[in-house]
Amino acid sequence: LLNNKLSISSAISGIYTAKFILLIPSFIVVVLGVHFSSLKNYTVLSLFIVFWAAAQSFGPVWYFQATDRLHIYALTDIFSRLLYMLLIFIFLRSSEDYYLIIVLQFLTILISTIVQCTIMSLETGSKIFKLSLVDGINALRSGWSISIFTIITSVYTAAGIFILGIFVPSHQVAIYGNADRLARAGLSMFGPINQIIAPRIYSLVHQGLRESIKYIYRISAFYFPVAVLIFFLIILLAKPAITILFGDSYIESANILRLLGLLFPIIALNTILSSFVLIPLGKDNYVTVVYSIASALSLGAMIILIPRVGIVGMAYSVIIPEAFASISLGFQVYKILRRNLAES
């Protein structure tokens, strides 16, 4: 694709047309949500949040992943973040300047996105915003399963705190929330690593399954043990970490953090099975089905466990669906490997 100017031009046109198509309902939802809520006095600020999200989503990280030059994207992104911090120190003078936090973040992300798109345009000779409805619809069709997978995992992750608040007092929500934020922050560190590894695996899959399997084995031999090591570090350091960050009044968060530490090896395994194996092999529909069932399982577990065992039940409601996903994804990978060995 990258060596075919016509194909890459069509791909870029499709991706950005699809983004514009998705931006329209997002804009409408935010406008209606603001109009019929207590945020009505913050309409302009809410719209800037949409613009910020749009500017970030238009960044062509996928292009730099595909060309094995993610460092270019990283450098422009780091520059925009440093510029944002500098502008905040210069212009933010009082609490009345709160709106500048979003406005400046939007402007710096926009600068970064423009630079990235310019680099891509110069290298490919493509017009970034040459829109094509046909290409856009094709892009939406080809990416629907990954989009649903992302939405499902995001929704059931974000909905947990809201459901927890229905059943337990606010102080208990805060205790769980402290542990949850720390665990999610740690898990997010794997994101940049996944962005580097996944494109390489896609490339190897096209060269042959055997080579890609060897590479996945090598990566997994590092990736999974690191996640296990982090889990054991959490077991050891949860109590002092919670005390330092949140104080003695939230010491109960340490036990929850230790439980959520199980997510590190489990999610690492799920990432290997789904993002490194099944999705590159075209099994994204299967992954989407697994996480759809996991989401329903999580919701059911929350409703059953939280009223009985409180925030501990909430922790188990997060762990159980991920464990289910590990078993289901592992079974599918086992079938693929067994079939491959039989054919060879």
Overall average pLDDT of the 224-229 stretch: 95
Q: Is the pLDDT of residue 190 over 60?
A: yes
* From 131-135, 160-164, 214-218, 262-266, the region with the lowest mean pLDDT: 131-135
Question: What's the residue count for the chain?
Answer: 344
Structure tokens at 95: 């609490």
Predicted local distance difference test score (pLDDT) of residue 232: 96
Region of 125 (left: φ > 0; alpha: ψ -120 to 50; beta: rest) is: left
Q: What is the per-residue pLDDT for 6?
A: 54
Confidence of residue 61 (pLDDT cuts 50, 70, 90): confident
Q: Compare 139 and 113 and report the one with higher pLDDT.
A: 113
Is a pLDDT exceeding 80 seen at residue 42?
A: no
CA–CA separation, 26 vs 52, rounded Å? 12
Each residue's pLDDT tens digit, 191-202: 778 877 877 787
Question: Could you give the CA distance from residue 25 to residue 31 in angstroms, rounded to a whole number?
Answer: 10
In one-letter notation, the amino acid at residue 161 is I
pLDDT of 2 higher than 60: no
* DSSP one-letter string for 84-98: HHHHHHHH--SGGGT
- Per mean pLDDT, which of 121-125, 160-164, 285-289 is the most reliable? 285-289
How much is the mean pLDDT over the chain? 83
The model scores a pTM over 0.85: no
**165 contacts 173 by C-beta, under 8 angstroms:** yes
Q: How far, in Å, CA of 305 to CA of 319, rounded?
A: 12
Distance CA 259, CA 245 (A): 18
**Predicted pLDDT of residue 240:** 93
Those residues with Cβ within 8 angstroms of residue 199's Cβ, 6 or more apart along the chain or in another chain: 65, 66, 68, 70
- Cβ atoms within 10 Å of 89's Cβ, excluding its own: 8
pLDDT at 134 over 70: yes
End-to-end CA distance of the chain, in Å? 29
Percent of the chain whose predicted confidence (pLDDT) is above 90? 29
**253 pLDDT higher than 90:** yes
Distance CA 85, CA 127 (A): 32
